[in-house]
Amino acid sequence: MNEKRLFSIVTVTWNAAKVIVPTLQSVREQTYKDYEYLVIDGASSDETLTLVRDADIAGTRIFSEPDRGLYDAMNKAIDRAEGQYLIWLNAGDRFAAPDSLARLAACATGSPGVIYGQTQLVDATGRVVGMRHLTAPRTLTADSFKQGMLVCHQAFVARRDLMPHYNLQYRFSADYDWCIRVLQASDRNTYCGDEPVISFLTDGLTDKYHKKSLMERFSIMCHHYGTLPTIVRHLGFVPRYLRRKFTT
C-alpha cells in the first residue's frame, strides 16, 4: 500500500448488508482517486463482506474479526490506516456528490489539522430531507464544541498524526470527546465550503440511545470546559431545543 495516499476512507460494519450498498457506490463514484478504502468489520454473519468484495473498489482492505463495539473498531482503523487523513463513512452514509472527495482534497493544501464541511440528511432511498440541524461554522476551534457537536463526525476529516484513540469509557459519544481532543492538537482547520460533503442516513426515528448519549456529552463538556460553565451554557441550549422541537 502506498503510504502517501492522501485519504483513508473507513467504513465500520457489522451485519450491514441492508444499508451498505449506497455507501460503496458513493466511494466508487468519487472522481478523486488518491485514497485507500478500509472496511473494519465485526465478524458479520450476513452478506456484508460479499457486497464489499463485489463492489471492487480499488485500494480496498478488509479486516473482519470480533470487536468490542464501534469505537474499538475505529481504534483498529486508526492503527491500520496509511492515509494522511481519515474519513469516517458509516454504513448507510455516503458522499454528497461524486466530487466531494476532490473538494476535500483541494482543502488539504498546507496540511491543516482538520478539514471539515456541511452535512445533509437523506432517507433510505437517498432522498435529501434537509440539512443537519447544527451548522458547521466557518471558523472552527476546540472551543467551538462548547456549543455541541457542530460538525458531523463524518464531515470531520482529521490528519492521522494528530489522532488519539477513542476513549472506550464512553459508549455512545466517544466521537464528541475525540473531535475535541483532535481540535486541541490542531493549529489550523480548513472549512470546505457551504455545499454539503456528506449525506447522513436518517430513519426519522429517535435514537434509542439518545438520552444516554446526551448524558455522556454533558460529562465530556464538563471534563473539557468545566462543570459550572457547562451548566450555565446548557440553560442557553433550551431555546435552541424548543425551536427544533416545534419546527420539525
Q: What is the pLDDT of residue 220?
A: 97
Q: What is the pLDDT of residue 122?
A: 96
HEC per residue, the chain: CCCCCCEEEEEEECCCCCCHHHHHHHHHCCCCCCEEEEEEECCCCCCHHHHHHHHCCCCEEEEECCCCCHHHHHHHHHHHCCCCEEEECCECEEECCCCHHHHHHHCCCCCCCEEEEEEEEECCCCCEEEECCCCCCCCCCHHHHHHCCCCCHHHEEEEHHHCCCCCCCCCCCHHHHHHHHHHHHCCCEEEEEEEEEEEEECCCCCCCCHHHHHHHHHHHHHHHHCHHHHHHHHHHHHHHHHHHHHHC
Q: What is the pLDDT of residue 234?
A: 83
Q: What is the pLDDT of residue 206?
A: 45
Q: What is the pLDDT of residue 25?
A: 98
Q: What is the pLDDT of residue 87?
A: 98
Q: What is the pLDDT of residue 3?
A: 54
Q: What is the pLDDT of residue 205?
A: 43
Q: What is the pLDDT of residue 204?
A: 45
| CATH architecture under which domain 7-206 falls | Alpha-Beta Complex (3.90)
Q: What is the pLDDT of residue 211?
A: 84
On whether the pTM is more than 0.85, the answer is yes
The residue extents of the domains of the chain are 7-206
Residue ranges of the chain whose pLDDT lies below 50: 1-2, 204-206
